Structure 1
Amino acid sequence: MAVPSKTSVEVETKSKIREYLDIVLPECFIPELGESKSGKVRDIYFAGKNVVMVTNDRVSAFDFILPNLIPFKGQVLCGISEWAFQETKDIVPNALIENVDSSVVVQKKMTNLNVEFIVRGYLWGSMAAAYEKGDRTFCGLKVPDGLNRFQKFDEPLFTPTTKAEVGHDENMTYAEVEKLIGKDMAKKAKDVAMKLYARGAELMRKRGLILIDTKYEFGLDEHGVLHVIDEVNTPDSSRMCTVEEWETKYPKIAAEMKTGKHKDVSALMKAKPELKLKEFSKQYVRDALLEMGFDPAKDNKAPKLSDEQVVECAYRYIHIYEMVTGKQFEFPPKMSPSKRIILNLQRAGMLVGGFVIIAAGSDSDMPHLETLKKELAKFKIPSQIRICSAHKQPGRLEQLIQAYNKSVEPIMLVGCAGGTDALSGTASYSATFPVVSCPPDGMNSTCLTNPPGSSNAFIVKPANVGKFAAQFFASHCPKVAAELEANIQEKIRKLEQADESLAKRARLAESFAESTPAKSGA
């Protein structure tokens, strides 16, 4: 049997990718998991005993989030990290607990050291650009003259940076790392980072790859034990290329530079673009943007990639996953990734799959709000109390509604406003989810007279709100459906018991009447 050529496999894979261009995961807001921290490519939840990280299909370049989503990007990053954690656990423990979905990682909570531990094996990327401009000191390290872009260092360099929440990371010296996290921890983390890089480079070379550079993040558990966290040796945290690519092209680059005809390798690339090394990293996206005329220093947003560019990017992610792990990439079912994530979190027992926001204009009616929460809990429905006045904080209320509109799980809002009910009417006007009024002052007629466009329901009793919510969520949430069925059966059982009790009393009364002789008249 003939072995498929690389070209035919690439064509077939890219054809398959085109079928998934619209089956992608943007931000993934799951209110039930608590408050989230949204990074460039992740939604991270800290509310439970563990950290839940949902890796989406967004891609960033030059600190800009692109309008496009790249199919399977999140799946690839999670898959490579899981493999890398397994292959390096003898060097340092990792925070991974399990991957409950191809795009969801559950890790132990750690105290982040807030340093990007970067190891570079080659003069590449931003460092190469700075070197060509004349810089020779990086993170306190002196780099010799006479090096070329893409050249391998005699020994890997440790070039840490800050971990910026917004904007660019800034280079750090080793002394600055020591000052931030202490000398002992700085030495230990640096040593571990160098060992992780050496292991990664060794494993990848066996697969025909070069690990050019990469970054690691570390955290401490409750006992102060160092763990590697986040992702490891992925194409988003690293640069890679094939051994064949580097060994074929770099000698030609070095030979050209010896002629003295070119100012630097960047100038050579312009003259002979065929010598540019093909990377497996986000560099493809950066180059595509620059070729489209994007200027990160002047433009305020990144342009949209073409479908062909998206397919090429997704293919590179898939190809590098297969090369790094040695596993064949498995295309997921053709369903909404967010729906798949909810189903898998439900199967893992981490999610009910429905959520209620109990919104009130003030905390003065807290007993009523707590009663609603208890009634919802009877049906296993998670809920959260939020205080936001439609009169005093209209902007804040609108902001909350817009945030909850992004929920990937079904939700409901219960408005609890006494006096004039503007809360439920205002919320239901903008919400893409149902809103129910359950005022603390009972039969409040203002709940029934909200203006056109408002669509709130009106339920007076908290217990009935619980039952109504259970009926709404039952088709999405097996736990709720089971509680609802049990509730219905319990009500029926009590009615049948009551009926049987009455029938029994009737039969006893009839039997008593029959056994009692009638009194004769005088």
Structure 2
Amino acid sequence: MHTLTHFASPQLPLLHRGKVRDSLRAPSGDRLIIVTDRLSAFDSVLETAVPHKGAVLNGLADFWFEKTKSIIPNHVLKLVDANAMLVREAQPIKVEMVVRHYLTGSMWRGYQAGQRTFSGVTLPDGLRKHQPFPEYLVTPTTKEESDREITPESLVSEGWVSQELYEQMRAKALALFQVGSELLREKGIILVDTKYEFGLLNGELILIDEIHTPDSSRFWSADDYARNPEGVEQMDKEYVRQWLIANKQDGQYPRALTPEVAREASRRYLDIYQRITGQPLPTAEADGPDAPGTGRHDARARLLANLVRAGLMQDAWVSIVPGSAADKEQGLDICRQLQGYGVFTELCVAQQSEEEITNQAEEWNSSIEPGVIIAVNGLANGLAAALAATVSLPVISCPPWEAGAGPDLNSGSSAMPSGAPVLAVVSPDQAAQAALRALNLPRLRQRLSQEIHVTKAKLRAAKAEFRTL
């Protein structure tokens, strides 16, 4: 299965990596949110990703943001890819506004155990599982290491929000829930409960994060609920949670899903997307109607192409790593040699610590686009060898030879360790050309072929002129 489990690029600084979403800084200063296919359950991320899950969440959030923008502005600028959304940078309010219409989930479990007050809302005795409330309830929680129930009064007294801001958030949350419930009711779906997150942009309250998705909301089939209210099955990731509970061993949940469970989870995500929007997920490719998520689409390649098309990044990068501050000028020379080829170049900080290099190597190794590393250092200091032993990408060494000097092929470190190959070149222009060839992009091959053709033509002309002398 082709899934998007991780996003990294030297071109886009990472702001935050959550359980499902990766947030990065776009060149414009806005925030780029990548919704991956990772799945979290019981406060941990499973090793198995669910095909199409990220695109379903991102697509549904965009659908609902558009439907509710008349109620409250939101942070969306544009949908860049099925898994990517460019949004305005807002100041997040560290409070989740949870709206509930039925007694279920954690509230029901607390109620069974004798709890009657939830975030300042007191329930009477004698209620049944999945019983609807006479009116929608708002039970806020704080966004901390683990969400904490809190009363509106405590939110204000503890300084999370002002009284005025809380009342505004509460009113908007109830209005959003009302619109969502009405639209879903027409499609035979019950919006059981959900959470909303808000932020401030230039002092104005806006809606952020996600809205009415299977990860932020609980859905029931109206027909299923009518038949069996207390046994109704959820139309969200509860299927996975129940499988984890059923397969718990020695107090530990499984870390991975079986292929069959992953496929069924994918089918359910795709089904809820189509039921809500009325259209199948555009990017979903399946081998058959009963096996979604087994198609041969490549989410990473599509995502990269769309980010490049949107002007948010280049399709390849070259990182130049100087061994010391004295090597910086040669690194800048290589950068200049690469100008005009449409490749992102960066000059890394000289003399990084081992931890910094290791962290950088993790980003390089998992980058969504191809890349090349150029070490600007003498062969003897071993920087190129250390990089080649750490990364899975081409490494080029371009030592800053002194005038008239050349490479010392007898240098003790010119023989690299097994499995850590390094290409050594003797000038910045050769380093740049070697990097372009190592990237092996079709557009670069075509460009370089044209340059080679021009160079050969010039050589033939020079030879012909020489023969006439």
Compute the TM-score of the two structures, normalised by the length of structure 1.
0.79
Distance 2:109 2:384 in 1: 56
Within the candidate set 389, 392, 414, 1:432 is matched to 392
Aligned residue in 1 for 2:245: 290
Distance 1:190 1:145 in 2: 26
Judge conservation of contact 2:372–2:439 (CA < 8 Å) in 1: no
Helix, strand or coil at the partner of 1:68: coil
Judge conservation of contact 1:85–1:232 (CA < 8 Å) in 2: yes
Aligned residue in 2 for 1:136: 116
Distance 1:492 1:224 in 2: 62
How many residue pairs end up in the alignment? 450
1:87 aligns with 2:47: no
Q: How far 1:324 sits from its partner (Å)?
A: 1.1
Q: How far 1:194 sits from its partner (Å)?
A: 1.4
Distance 1:444 1:114 in 2: 58
1:54–1:73 distance in 2 versus 1, CA, 3 Å: same
Distance 1:121 1:374 in 2: 61
Aligned residue in 2 for 1:365: 327
Aligned residue in 2 for 1:116: 96
1:244 aligns with 2:227: no
Helix, strand or coil at the partner of 1:358: strand
Distance 2:90 2:430 in 1: 42
The CA deviation string for residues 379-406 of structure 1, in whole angstroms up to 9 with x for no partner, is: 222122333648xx44543443234211
Judge conservation of contact 1:161–1:169 (CA < 8 Å) in 2: yes
Aligned residue in 2 for 1:346: 308
Distance 2:173 2:140 in 1: 10
Aligned residue in 1 for 2:78: 98
Judge conservation of contact 1:117–1:190 (CA < 8 Å) in 2: yes
1:383 aligns with 2:341: no
Q: How far 1:218 sits from its partner (Å)?
A: 1.7
Distance 2:172 2:447 in 1: 50
1:184–1:364 distance in 2 versus 1, CA, 3 Å: farther
The CA deviation string for residues 299-342 of structure 1, in whole angstroms up to 9 with x for no partner, is: 3x633322222222112111111111111334247232111211
Distance 1:108 1:489 in 2: 46
Distance 1:115 1:124 in 2: 21
Aligned residue in 1 for 2:436: 470
- 1:240 is aligned with what amino acid? F
Judge conservation of contact 2:376–2:397 (CA < 8 Å) in 1: yes
Distance 1:489 1:91 in 2: 61
User: Percent identity of the aligned residues?
Assistant: 30
Q: How far 1:115 sits from its partner (Å)?
A: 1.9
Aligned residue in 2 for 1:175: 153
Q: How far 1:483 sits from its partner (Å)?
A: 6.0
Distance 2:419 2:439 in 1: 24
Helix, strand or coil at the partner of 1:313: helix
1:157–1:397 distance in 2 versus 1, CA, 3 Å: same
- 2:373 is aligned with what amino acid? L
Q: How far 1:233 sits from its partner (Å)?
A: 0.3
Judge conservation of contact 1:66–1:303 (CA < 8 Å) in 2: yes
Matches within 5 A, 1:318-337: 318-330=270-282, 331-332=284-285, 334-337=296-299
Distance 2:163 2:369 in 1: 46
1:118–1:482 distance in 2 versus 1, CA, 3 Å: farther
Judge conservation of contact 1:65–1:302 (CA < 8 Å) in 2: no
Distance 1:474 1:452 in 2: 24
Aligned residue in 2 for 1:201: 181
1:364–1:147 distance in 2 versus 1, CA, 3 Å: farther
Distance 1:116 1:451 in 2: 53
Q: How far 1:210 sits from its partner (Å)?
A: 0.5
The CA deviation string for residues 334-388 of structure 1, in whole angstroms up to 9 with x for no partner, is: 2321112112222323222111222233334332332222322332221223336
Aligned residue in 2 for 1:410: 370
- 2:332 is aligned with what amino acid? E
Aligned residue in 2 for 1:281: 236
- When the two chains are superposed, the root-mean-square deviation of aligned CA atoms in Å is 2.8
Q: Which structure carries more helix by proportion?
A: 1
Within the candidate set 132, 144, 154, 2:134 is matched to 154
1:309 aligns with 2:275: no
Structure 2: segments with no counterpart, 5+ residues: 286-294
Q: How far 1:444 sits from its partner (Å)?
A: 5.0
Distance 1:367 1:152 in 2: 70
Structure 1: segments with no counterpart, 5+ residues: 1-21, 254-275, 511-522
Aligned residue in 2 for 1:15: none
Helix, strand or coil at the partner of 1:439: coil
Within the candidate set 1, 11, 16, 1:32 is matched to 11
Helix, strand or coil at the partner of 2:269: helix
1:57 aligns with 2:37: yes
- 1:87 is aligned with what amino acid? K
- 1:171 is aligned with what amino acid? E
1:463–1:95 distance in 2 versus 1, CA, 3 Å: same
Structure number with greater Rg is: 1
Distance 1:279 1:62 in 2: 17
Q: How far 1:130 sits from its partner (Å)?
A: 1.2
Judge conservation of contact 1:379–1:484 (CA < 8 Å) in 2: no
Distance 1:284 1:440 in 2: 60
